Chains A and B, each alone.
Chain A
Amino acid sequence: MSDAPGTPLDAPVERTGSAGDAPLVVSSRFDVADGHTLDVYRTSGSYPGYSGLAEALRSTPDQVRETVVAATLLGRGGAGFPAGVKWGFCPPGVWPRYLVVNGDESEPGTFKDRLLMERDPHQLVEGALIAAYALGAAQVFLYVRGEMPHAQERIAAALNEALEAGLVGRNIMGSDFSVDVVLHWGAGAYIVGEETALIESLEGNRGMPRLKPPYFPAAKGLYLRPTIVNNVETLANLPWLFHHGVDAYTSVGTETSPGTRLIALSGHVRRPGVYEVPQGTTTFRDLFEDDRYGGGIRDGRALKMFIPGGASAPWFFPEQVDLPLEGRTVGGAGSMLGSGAVVVMDETTDAVEACYSLVRFFARESCGKCTPCREGTTWEEKILERILEGHGRPSDIDLLLDVADNISPGPYPVAADPSQGLDAVPFPPRQTTICPLGPSSVAPITSAIRRFRHEFEARITRRDPIPVAVAAESVAGEPVGGPGV
Chain B
Amino acid sequence: MARLTPDNELLARRIVARYPEPKSATIPLCHLSQEQDGWLTEEGMAHVAELVGCTPAEVLGTASFYEMFKLHPVGRYCLNICTNISCRIVGGADLLARAEERLGVRAGGTTADGTITLEDVECIAACTEAPALQVNYRYVERVDEAALDALIDDLRSGSGRAAEFPPHGTLGLVRQELGADDLANVSPPEDQDVPGWFARHAEAAADGGSGS
Task: List A residues at the B interface (Cβ < 8 Å).
Answer: 1-2, 5-7, 9, 13-14, 60-62, 88, 90-93, 95-96, 105-111, 113-114, 136-139, 145-150, 152-157, 159-160, 163, 169-170, 175-180, 182-190, 201-207, 223-225, 264-268, 272-274, 307, 311, 341, 343, 345, 349, 353-354, 357-358, 361, 364-365, 367
Is B6 close to A, CB under 8 A? no
Interface string of B62-98 (1 = CB under 8 A from A): 1101111100000000000001111011100000000
A163 touches B127 (CB 8 A): no
- Max count, chain A CB within 10 A of own CB: residue among B139, B170, B177: B139
State how many angstroms separate the Cβ of B201 from the closest Cβ of chain A. 4
- Shortest Cβ distance from B210 into A: residue: A92
B85 close to A311 (CB less than 8 A): yes
B176 near A204: Cβ-Cβ < 8 Å: no
Residues of B within 8 A of A184 (CB): 24, 27-28
On chain A, the residues within 8 Å of B172 by CB distance are 149-150, 152-153, 156, 185
Nearest CB on B from A309, distance (A): 13
Chain B binding surface SS class: loop
B11: interface (CB < 8 Å): no
Contact residues in A for B175 (Cβ distance below 8 Å): 156
Query: Which residue from B26, B65, B86, B182 sits with its C-beta under 8 Å from A109?
Result: B86
Contact across chains for A6 and B201 when beta carbons are under 8 A apart: no
Bound-state Cα–Cα, A33 to B122, Å: 31
Give the distance to chain A from B12, nearest Cβ to Cβ, in Å. Answer: 13
Contacts of A345 in B (CB 8 A): 89
- Contact of B193 with A111 in the complex, beta carbons under 8 Å: no
Inter-chain contact A264/B62, CB cutoff 8 Å: no
Report how far A92 CA is from B30 CA in the complex, Å: 37
Residue ID in chain B nearest A444 by CB atoms:
B85
Q: With A152-B172, A182-B176, A204-B24 in contact, is A7–B142 under 8 Å at CB?
A: yes
Most A CB atoms within 10 A — which of B86, B88, B211?
B86
Instruction: Give B119-150 as 1s and 0s: 1 = Cβ < 8 Å from A's Cβ atoms.
Output: 00011111111100010011111111011001
The winner among A6, A147, A201, A266 for most chain B CB atoms within 10 A is: A6
B185 within 8 Å of A by Cβ? yes
- B197–A178 CB distance below 8 A: yes
Q: How far is the CA of A13 from the CA of B125 in the complex (A)?
A: 13
Chain A min CB distance to B156 (Å): 17
In the complex, what's the smallest C-beta–C-beta distance from A182 to chain B, in angstroms? 5
Does A357 contact B177, Cβ atoms closer than 8 Å? Answer: no
Q: Is the beta-carbon distance between A5 and B128 smaller than 8 angstroms?
A: no
Q: Could you tell me the distance in whole angstroms from the C-beta of B161 to the nearest C-beta in chain A? A: 8
Q: Which residue of A lies closest to B54 (CB)?
A: A204
B106 at the interface (CB under 8 A from A): no
Are A5 and B142 in contact, CB atoms less than 8 angstroms apart? Answer: yes
Q: How far is the CB of A119 from chain B (nearest CB, A)?
A: 13
Are B85 and A357 in contact, with the CB atoms below 8 A?
Answer: yes
Per-residue CB proximity of B160-203 to A under 8 Å, as 1/0? Answer: 01000000001111111110001111100100111111101100
Please, could you name 17 A-B residue pairs with CB atoms under 8 Å apart, sorted by A? A5-B144, A61-B198, A62-B201, A88-B212, A91-B212, A95-B194, A96-B20, A109-B86, A136-B195, A149-B138, A150-B138, A153-B173, A180-B178, A187-B69, A264-B128, A266-B127, A268-B90
Most chain A CB neighbours (cut-off 10 Å) among B124, B146, B209: B124
Q: A62-B205, A175-B197, A189-B66 are in contact. Are A361 and B122 (CB under 8 A)?
A: yes
| B141 and A147 within 8 A (CB) | no
CA distance A2 to B183 in the complex (A): 45
Contacts of A272 in B (CB 8 A): 127-130
Residue of A152, A179, A207 most packed against chain B (CB within 10 A): A152
Which A residues touch B26, using CB under 8 A? Answer: 204-205
Tell me how far the C-beta of B83 lies from the nearest C-beta in chain A, rounded to whole angstroms: 7
> In angstroms, how far is the closest chain B Cβ from the Cβ of A144?
9
Decide: A147 and B134 in contact? CB cutoff 8 A: yes
Flag if A185 contacts B184 (CB, 8 Å).
no
Does B1 interact with chain A (Cβ within 8 Å)? no
A152 with B89: CB separation less than 8 A: no
What A residues does B28 contact at CB under 8 A? 184-185
A439 to B196, CA, bound (A): 44
CB distance from B58 to the nearest CB of A (A): 8
- A160, B176: Cβ atoms closer than 8 Å: yes
| B68 partner residues in chain A, CB cutoff 8 A | 146-147, 187-188
Complex contacts, A13 vs chain B, CB 8 Å: 128-129
Q: Mark B39-73, 1 if CB is under 8 A from A, else 0.
A: 00000000000001010000001110111110000
Contact A273 B66 (CB under 8 A): no
On chain A, the residues within 8 Å of B24 by CB distance are 184, 202-204
Q: Taking A60-B201, A107-B123 as contacts, is the C-beta distance between A307 and B176 under 8 angstroms?
A: no
The minimal Cβ–Cβ distance linking B87 to chain A, given in whole angstroms, is 9
Residues in B whose Cβ lies below 8 Å from that of A264: 127-128
Q: Which residues of A contact B141 (CB under 8 A)?
A: 2, 6-7
Contact A156 B174 (CB under 8 A): yes
**A396 CA to B125 CA, complexed, in Å:** 32
Q: Shortest CB–CB separation between residue B3 and chain A, in angstroms?
A: 19
Q: In the assembly, what is the distance between CA of A146 and CA of B150, in Å?
A: 27
Residues of the B chain whose Cβ atoms lie less than 8 Å from the Cβ of A157: 174
- In the complex, B18 has a CB within 8 A of chain A: yes
Among all A-B residue pairs, the 5 with the closest Cβ atoms: A5-B147, A188-B67, A204-B26, A187-B66, A136-B198
Question: Is A185 in contact with B123, judged by CB distance below 8 angstroms?
Answer: no
Residues of B within 8 A of A138 (CB): 20, 185, 192, 195
Distance to closest chain B CB from A221 (angstroms) = 11
Shortest CB distance A58–B (Å) = 12
Contact B30 A187 (CB under 8 A): yes
The distance in angstroms between the C-alpha atoms of A184 and B19, with both chains bound, is 10
Nearest chain A CB to B168's CB is how many angstroms away? 12
Q: A107-B123, A189-B66 are in contact. Are A225 and B189 (CB under 8 A)?
A: yes
Minimum CB distance partner of A89 in chain B: B212
Question: Closest approach, in angstroms, between the C-beta of B138 and any C-beta of chain A?
Answer: 7
Residues of B within 8 A of A202 (CB): 24
**Chain A: minimal CB distance from B167 (Å):** 13
Question: Nearest Cβ distance between residue A431 and chain B, in whole angstroms?
Answer: 22
Cβ–Cβ < 8 Å partners of B183 in chain A:
169, 180
Closest to B177 in A: A160
